[in-house]
Amino acid sequence: MSDGQSRPTNDAQIVVSGLSKQYRNVLAVNNLSFTVEPGRVTGFLGPNGAGKTTTLRMLLNLVTPTAGTATIGGRRYPELAEPLRHVGAVLEASSAHKGRTGINHLRVISAAAGLPRQRADEALALVGLTPAAKRKFKGYSLGMKQRLGIAAAMLGDPRVLILDEPANGLDPEGIRWMRGFLKGLAAEGRTVLVSSHLLSEMQLLADDVVIIAAGQLVRQGPVDQVIGSMAQGVRVRVRTPQAEALTSALAGGPARVQTDEHGALLIAGVDAPTVGRAALGAGVELHELTTERPDLERVFLELTAGKAGIR
């Protein structure tokens, strides 16, 4: 086939366009547009109540948009011929019957989707849950429940993975496992869209980010680019009992000096050796001298400042 190369790529691209959702008295999502590419992990970030869950549910046809469209490979979710072979999703508030065993939960889904019966066993093995296959869901720990959700998403070996706050309730070991698992899926060329409010985790996991606040897009792009785009680059943090003396020693150069809420100096425009040398020259006593690189958390807080909070 002549288009054999390009088709998988197009099939796995997510396009959200002008998407809005009005609940009775909340505009949960407001004219939101972004794209998600295959072969990368895309972090979908926003403060609580920003509209992440609502957006993902509209993408999956669980919630009807008030306006706009969301497509996967150019088609709305209900138009996909075999949705579970195309898209796997792990959502908040999706669960299993408390009295059903893990393996039976997966068999029920496989039956509905017309997948072979042994896919249930394979998916369970993939997430390391085989020993708990015949235990009832109510006896599962939070981490096991989350893994069962991922097994359900992997049943159809989909090209697109959508996860809503998958790190919630996981212990550090579980989070590390999840990170490796999702990175591996992206490396295989799949599309991975993960919502989260855990920013340090996202910085380790995501290649791209889509940041929203109050239902609107704030920024989209590769993580490095989004961080680099912020006005504040690398800063040097200095704690000293002689702040004024150091400030005047640096005056006249490229350094821009600010004071943070704890009285430490945040110096931009020069590197740590320059500051150290200036301090030595002026005979200023230093208690701390560290280089601060901007991280996702700082960028996120600056971008979403004033837009967070309960709506």
Ligand X SMILES: Nc1ncnc2c1ncn2[C@@H]1O[C@H](COP(=O)(O)OP(=O)(O)O)[C@@H](O)[C@H]1O
Q: Determine how β-strand 265-268 pairs with β-strand 256-259.
A: antiparallel
What does each C-alpha distance from 70 to 61, 81, 268 come to in angstroms?
Answer: 9, 16, 42
Q: Hey, what are 17's tokens?
A: 């366009």
Residue 140 per-residue DSSP state? -
Does the CA dihedral 111-113-119-124 come out positive or negative?
negative
Interacting residues with ligand X between 25 and 64 (CB under 6 A): 26, 28, 46, 48-54
Contacts of 178 (CB under 8 A, 6+ apart): 146, 150, 166, 167, 170
Q: Going residue by residue from 114 to 153, which x/- string records binding to other proteins, judged by CB under 8 A?
A: x-------------------------------------x-
The answer to whether 311 contacts ligand X (rule: CB under 6 A) is yes
Q: What is the 3-state secondary structure (H, E, C) of 29-75?
A: EEEEEEEECCCCEEEEECCCCCCHHHHHHHHCCCCCCCEEEEEECCE
Count of beta carbons in the 10 Å neighbourhood of residue 238: 25
The answer to whether 55 contacts other proteins (rule: CB under 8 A) is no
Nearer to Mg ion, 164 or 208 (CB): 164
Q: Hey, what are 38's tokens?
A: 């295959």
Nearer to ligand X, 54 or 101 (CB): 54
Q: Going residue by residue from 61 to 100, which x/- string records binding to other proteins, judged by CB under 8 A?
A: xxxx------------xx-x--xx--x-x-x-xxxxxxxx
Nearer to other proteins, 1 or 93 (CB): 93
* Binding partner selected for residue 49 from Mg ion, other proteins, ligand X, none, CB under the kind-specific 5 to 8 Å limit: ligand X
Among residues 20, 30, 42, 53, the one that binds Mg ion under rule CB under 5 A: 53
Among residues 26, 111, 187, 280, the one that binds other proteins under rule CB under 8 A: 111
Number of H helices, E strands in the chain: 12, 13
One-letter amino acid identity for 171? D
Nearer to other proteins, 75 or 176 (CB): 75
What is the SS3 assignment for 191? strand
Among residues 107, 119, 147, 219, the one that binds other proteins under rule CB under 8 A: 107
Give the separation between CA 206 and CA 72, rounded to whole angstroms: 20
* Binding partner selected for residue 98 from ligand X, other proteins, Mg ion, none, CB under the kind-specific 5 to 8 Å limit: other proteins
* Binding partner selected for residue 46 from ligand X, other proteins, Mg ion, none, CB under the kind-specific 5 to 8 Å limit: ligand X
What is the SS3 assignment for 206? coil
Among residues 9, 104, 203, 216, the one that binds other proteins under rule CB under 8 A: 104
Give the residue from 90, 87, 66, 64 showing the smallest Cα distance to 18.
Answer: 66
Nearer to other proteins, 114 or 233 (CB): 114
The answer to whether 57 contacts other proteins (rule: CB under 8 A) is yes
Closest approach, Cβ 25 to ligand X, in A, equals 8
Q: What does the chain come to in residues? A: 311
Q: Name the residues that contact other proteins, by CB under 8 A.
A: 53-54, 57, 60-64, 77-78, 80, 83-84, 87, 89, 91, 93-101, 104, 107-109, 111-114, 152
Q: Catalog residues that contact ligand X under the rule CB under 6 A.
A: 23, 26, 28, 46, 48-54, 311
